[in-house]
């Protein structure tokens, strides 16, 4: 029994020995960096600051951007082909304002629509969370259920429409 306590005390002593603090007070090892040189400063300007209540941004346009695309949706809607939810399931190539990315549509329920998402998209399409078919249109929704855009079937494997902000969007396989 005495050996057991002695071994435990020896191990504890070694463990604590590794934790002791050491200080180096060797004057040969001290080093102080040279002082920094002052950098020249430019001249100081004085003037009146702009009115903080005035907007620094230009006024919003009176017509919404892509109004033509929104108008085109009326024509797309009138010429749209029938669409079923099952025919939409799968992977789609997306082109929105000249940028390409991927969209994936499933039949998994999410809120009032079905789960969907994008990969490699920019802008408002990055917020896509679900989609649904309503009549002859496909509505793309954000994660909160708000509409991001509307698409209409224009060919066997093609859908065209616009985002909520009026940017053109097309899906193809």
Looking at the domain assignment, is residue 67 inside a domain?
A: no
Task: Report the domain count for the chain.
Answer: 1
Going by C-alpha positions, the residue among 158, 161, 154 that lies closest to residue 81 is 154
State the CATH number of the domain containing residue 132: 2.40.128.10
36: left (phi over 0), alpha (psi -120 to 50) or beta: beta
DSSP state for residue 81 in the 8-state scheme: B
Looking at the domain assignment, is residue 84 inside a domain?
A: no
Q: Is the pLDDT of residue 106 over 90?
A: yes
Q: What percent of the chain has pLDDT over 70?
A: 72
Domain with 117, as residue range(s), is: 89-172
Whole-prediction pTM value? 0.57
Looking at the domain assignment, is residue 62 inside a domain?
A: no
- pLDDT value for 5: 58
Looking at the domain assignment, is residue 78 inside a domain?
A: no
pLDDT digits (tens, 9 = 90+) for 3-57: 555 556 565 665 555 555 555 555 556 677 888 888 777 777 788 877 777 666 6
- pLDDT value for 98: 84
How many Cα atoms occupy the beta-carbon half-sphere of 105 within 13 Å? 22
Q: Is the pLDDT of residue 64 over 50?
A: no
Looking at the domain assignment, is residue 137 inside a domain?
A: yes
């Amino acid at each position: 029994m005495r050996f057991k306590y002695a071994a435990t005390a020896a191990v504890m002593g070694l463990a604590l020995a590794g934790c002791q603090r050491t200080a180096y007070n060797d004057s040969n090892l001290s080093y102080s960096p040279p002082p920094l040189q002052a950098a020249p400063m430019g001249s100081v300007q004085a003037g009146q600051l702009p009115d903080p209540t005035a907007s620094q941004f230009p006024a919003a346009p009176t017509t919404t951007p892509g109004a033509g695309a929104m108008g085109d949706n009326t024509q797309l809607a009138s010429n749209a082909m029938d669409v079923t939810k099952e025919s939409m399931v799968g992977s789609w190539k997306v082109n929105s304002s000249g940028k390409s990315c991927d969209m994936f549509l499933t039949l998994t329920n999410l809120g009032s629509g079905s789960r969907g998402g994008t990969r490699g998209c920019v802008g408002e399409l990055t917020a896509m969370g679900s989609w649904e078919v309503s009549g002859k249109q496909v509505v793309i929704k954000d994660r909160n259920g708000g509409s991001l855009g509307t698409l209409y079937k224009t060919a066997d494997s093609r859908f065209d429409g616009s985002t909520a902000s009026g940017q053109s969007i097309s899906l193809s396989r």
